[in-house]
Structure 1
Amino acid sequence: MTVDIPLTVVGSINSDITATTSRLPGAGETVGGGVLTRDAGGKGANQAAAAARLGARTRMIGAVGADASGDDMRRALADAGVDVSGVITAERETGTALIMVDAQGENQISVCEGANAEVTLDGIEFTDDETVMAQLEISIDTVTELARRCRGFFVLNAAPAMPLPDELLHRADLVIVNETEYALIPELADAALVAVTYGAEGSALFARGERLAFAPAKRARPVNTVGAGDAFCAALTIALRSGLSHEDALHAANAVGAAAVEDPCSRPRLGRLGDYLRDTADA
């Protein structure tokens, strides 16, 4: 399968600091024996890196700080094949995510937005054939402005969950959420097309609340679930924009998500989308 899709991701860029422990601590509890890692992250940057690795022509619109982390985050995106000419250097520090992951791959995340608060669309142009993807780790006002200015296919990963302006919801050609976010945003029942992930159960597509397609999850041994949702978002968007059917697109995205949870990095190393279509056919 050949992917030749221009994709622009507008969103967050974070430095991930992850502590992996045998189990997640409860409120007020300390759990020792952890292993500390530092990695590139941010929902926007994760989706951009995944899209580029899957084969889309990808550019990133975002912001990092004038610090060492900012240099590292920009370099990590470029190394993944992402055009970083739209990543500005802000006066605030680079965004940071503090992550705890247990032995089963479950996680808790606290995000300090930093430079992500200064993401701007100033000087950015969009073309008619361009697919544009956004998340909600940057200002909702910026995302709404993006929806107005986007001339092509507009994808919204509505995470973290929050009330959505009617204008944003009605403009989105595709909204992607997990089952918890779907329950927290009831207005999604009126959206044109919504993808919902159900973890180990699989994923589905809905139109105006009516289920169009479902695909079971591909079996995997989870190591880290942090980047799985972002990889799924990139894969589903590319698959649908490449002309795959709803069901085939879900199968492909599920296969990419399964590969992502087996990678300890929050930004997993992925192959081309066609590889996952072959995996799905073989299964």
Structure 2
Amino acid sequence: MRIFVTGSTGFIGTELVNELIAAGHQVRGLTRSDAGEEQLKAVGAEVLRGDFTDLDCLRGGAKGMDAVVHLAFNHDDMAKFMQSATDEIAAIEALGSVLEPGKLLVVTSGIGMTAGAPGQARKETDPPAESQAVPRRPEQAAQAVAAKGVHVAVVRLPQVHDTRKQGLVTWLVGIAREKRVSAYVGDGANRWAAASLMDVSRLYHLAVEKTGAGVTTYHAVGEEGVSLREIAEVLGKGLGLPVISIPAEKAAEHFGPFLGHVSAMDMPAVSEWTQKALGWKPTGVGLIEDLSNMKY
């Protein structure tokens, strides 16, 4: 298959591009930098220089492809999160506009963007949430692409981790360093689902090869839920900092508006259907083990 990957030199994209090429696929990767170009060429990928906010570039990269995997998103500047969410919708629309019916678009969503009953683990059949606090709408944008006959896979990510990065937990590490405490909200019993980087990369690979018509939603979940108190405690130990509880009304002040909101969210999830549909079995280490082995 000919596959176009945005975010191809990022945390997940790097692993995925290597895996797809090893499986015999032809990969075109989008990158903004000289270093990214060198990285892609080194593994045998075709290079497209550009940015995921350049819609003409995206359309050119996706045209004629059998599949597109959209991983790119600007996580670097939380002050621009609303703009990044808007850019994401435009990117999905642009990519889908040039894919022929029967071709595949893989979009990236998140467990935290999924509606679920309080205290219950989110399932693949749960709909995307409508929340002003979390303005991303990748699944809704993908539905419009599917209406044109393009096959769509939605991959909902938990906290994806190795010993270098861990999704939202990476931001918790930075805040703990800045504030000189490792904090959780309330009793810290709320949970975040998690999965190892290698397991997630393998799921994307299987989704590319096995997704059929319509919209198919997958959960890239290895662990149903790890409590925020447990996360804060292992971060405190690694950083040599005290671990404290803060009241919910102080969460935004301590963590910032966005992370203050999600730090109190209970976001467990399951992946039984995904595992059966794709023949995917997560085998990587758990989040706490990776955090314990991280070089702080």
TM-score category (smaller protein): 0.3 to 0.5
TM-score when scaled to structure 1?
A: 0.42
Higher helix share: 2
Task: Provide the TM-score with structure 2 as the length reference.
Answer: 0.40
Q: Give the greater-gyration-radius structure (CA).
A: 2
Which one has the bigger strand percentage? Answer: 1
